[in-house]
């Protein structure tokens, strides 16, 4: 089953450019999350959303923007990419049907040059 | 904010032995503690969840313990196999916030 899909899987962009990472889930989970994973830091929460039109900051939100107009989609936008935003980004979802567990996408590898 | 520490960054064991991974946390006790497996280039995959009022949970060769007094969880893989080689992440959740440790890389040597 597709579950949760991210696109693009790999992206190289230049400093200062706007980049949007897409996330789509088919489970109708109410909660969606964006994490970044860096060596030595583990998974760090960027933003999360409890439902459509409800979003909140996580640990490292600076430089990122999210929106959630539909339950199934949760795009993450880097408004002006910086090299420090080079990372692997994981989208995840959770809901009543997931039994308090969180399901991850396969990740988006972003390199900012 | 919650701080989560996992014992060592890397753990090497012989096939057939029991691997034991540690997760320690500070501050408040979570409602749930979870363990995830992550393979290179892939997203984390859920393995086991244990609630704050549970001491132990088992699933096949996996066992998780949860000691809220020590603020610690132990994750055991018995009769380990090379296919168990991966990074294992501890995660704490309270309500709908999930916090992850940095993970322990496990290598099972044939």
**A40-77 b/e (C-beta count within 10 Å ≥ 16 → b):** eebbbbbbbbeebeebeebebbeebebbbeebbebbbe
Whether residues B93 and A105 touch (CB distance < 8 A) is answered with no
**B73 vs B51: CA distance, rounded Å:** 11
Picking from B43, B97, B101, B104 by the largest number of A CB atoms within 10 A of its own CB, the best residue to mutate is B43
- In Å, how far are A61, B16, B48 from B75, measured between CA atoms? 31, 16, 9
The residue-averaged pLDDT of A25-32 equals 92
What average pLDDT does this structure show over B16-33?
88
| B48, closest residue in chain A (CA to CA) | A101
Q: What is the C-alpha to C-alpha distance for residues B14 and B1, in angstroms, rounded to an integer? A: 37
Rounded to whole angstroms, the Cα distance separating A76 from A91 reads: 9
Of all residues in chain A, the percent with pLDDT exceeding 70 is 96
User: For the segment A50-94, what is each residue's pLDDT rounded down to a tens digit?
Assistant: 999 999 999 899 999 999 999 999 999 999 999 999 999 999 999
| Alpha-carbon distance A49 to nearest alpha carbon in chain B (angstroms) | 10
Residue B9 token pair: 């960054």
Of A41, A45, A104, the CB nearest to B44: A104
Q: Summarize pLDDT for B63-73 with one digit per residue, the tens.
A: 999 998 899 99
More confident residue, B101 or A110: A110
Asked if B65 and B51 count as a contact pair (C-beta separation under 8 A), the reply is no
- Provide CB contacts within 8 A for A15, sequence distance 6+: A81, A82, A83, A112, A113
Cβ-nearest to B101 among A42, A59, A99? A42
pLDDT tens-digit profile of B45-60?
999 999 888 989 999 9
Contact A42 B44 (CB under 8 A): no
Q: Is the separation of the CB atoms in A41 and A59 below 8 Å?
A: no
**DSSP track, B44-60:** -EEEEEEETT-SEEEET
Say what the pLDDT of residue B42 is. Answer: 93
Candidate from A57-61, A95-99, B86-90, B106-110 with smallest mean pLDDT: A95-99
Q: How confident is the model at residue A100 (pLDDT cuts 50, 70, 90)?
A: confident
How far apart CA A41 and CA B86 sit, in angstroms, is 17
Inter-chain CB proximity B42 and A41 less than 8 Å: no
Does A103 lie at the interface with B, CB-CB under 8 angstroms? yes
- Helix (H), strand (E) at residue B64: strand B62-67
B45 at A interface, C-beta within 8 A: yes
Is residue B110's pLDDT more than 80?
Answer: yes
């Amino acid at each position: 089953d597709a579950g949760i899909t991210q696109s693009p899987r790999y992206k190289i962009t230049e400093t200062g450019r706007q980049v949007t990472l897409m996330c789509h889930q088919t489970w109708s989970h109410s909660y969606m999350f964006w994490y970044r994973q860096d060596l030595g830091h583990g998974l760090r929460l960027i933003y999360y959303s409890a439902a459509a039109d409800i979003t909140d900051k996580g640990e490292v939100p600076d430089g990122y923007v999210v929106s959630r107009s539909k339950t199934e989609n949760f795009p993450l936008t880097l408004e002006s990419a910086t090299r420090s935003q080079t990372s692997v980004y994981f989208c995840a979802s959770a809901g009543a049907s997931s039994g308090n567990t969180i399901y991850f996408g396969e990740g988006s590898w972003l390199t900012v040059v | 904010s919650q701080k989560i520490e996992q014992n060592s960054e890397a753990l090497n064991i012989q096939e057939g032995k029991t691997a034991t991974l540690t997760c320690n946390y500070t501050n408040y006790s979570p409602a749930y503690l979870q363990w995830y497996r992550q393979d290179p280039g892939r997203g984390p995959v859920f393995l086991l969840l244990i609630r704050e009022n549970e001491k132990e949970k088992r699933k096949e060769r996996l066992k998780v313990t949860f000691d809220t007094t020590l603020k610690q969880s132990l994750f055991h893989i018995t009769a380990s196999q090379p296919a168990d080689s991966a990074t294992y992440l501890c995660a704490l959740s309270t309500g709908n916030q999930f916090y992850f440790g940095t993970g322990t890389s496990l290598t099972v040597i044939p």
